[in-house]
């Protein structure tokens, strides 16, 4: 049973719900040392290929066995947006691990900062340890909102 926040319920003292945090109880912030080596290698290889301007190859290797590639239009848009980011923010020069979260031993979210020549971008990758394929990426997001990497703002 999930708690659902409703403004209507909050105004009625009889049905006031407690604050609800939708994050899993087991979600724990992790350091780079705690991230499985397969995930670190995948992301390092991805950024190295992107820095070398091999964007298609970077995505092809990162999304091997992933369902991301089955959504062809979205997959192509992600590649195109990555290339467009070079025009907007400059080439990616380097990248830095920021943090990760472990929801379960087989489900991780990792955050990186890509250091472009003019402006950084925030990257968020979600990985799943598939019993069939091993570590696969389930989701890739990037944006130009690096301030959201800080907590408490």
Give the model's pLDDT for residue 137: 98
Confidence band, pLDDT 50/70/90 cuts, at residue 7: very low
Confidence band, pLDDT 50/70/90 cuts, at residue 28: low
Single pTM value for the model: 0.79
- From residue 46, alpha-carbon distances to 4, 7, 94, 125, 150 in Å are 39, 43, 12, 11, 24
pLDDT tens-place string over residues 74-92: 999 999 999 999 999 999 9
Per-position b or e across 57-73, b if 16+ CB within 10 A of its CB: ebbeebbeebebeeeee
Mean pLDDT of the chain: 85
pLDDT tens-place string over residues 110-130: 999 999 999 999 999 999 999
């Amino acid at each position: 049973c999930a708690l659902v926040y409703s403004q209507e319920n909050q105004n009625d003292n009889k049905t006031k719900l407690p604050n609800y945090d939708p994050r899993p109880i087991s979600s724990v912030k992790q350091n780079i040392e705690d991230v499985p080596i397969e995930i670190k290698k995948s992301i390092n290889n991805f950024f190295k290929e992107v820095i070398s301007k091999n964007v298609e190859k970077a995505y092809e290797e990162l999304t091997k066995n992933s369902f991301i590639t089955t959504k062809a239009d979205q997959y192509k848009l992600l590649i195109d947006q990555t290339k467009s980011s070079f025009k907007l923010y400059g080439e990616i020069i380097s990248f830095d691990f920021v943090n990760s979260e472990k929801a379960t031993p087989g489900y991780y979210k990792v955050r990186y900062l890509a250091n472009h020549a003019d402006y950084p971008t925030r990257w968020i990758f979600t990985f799943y340890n598939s019993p069939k394929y091993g570590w696969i990426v389930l989701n890739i997001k990037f944006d130009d909102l690096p301030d959201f990497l800080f907590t408490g703002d």
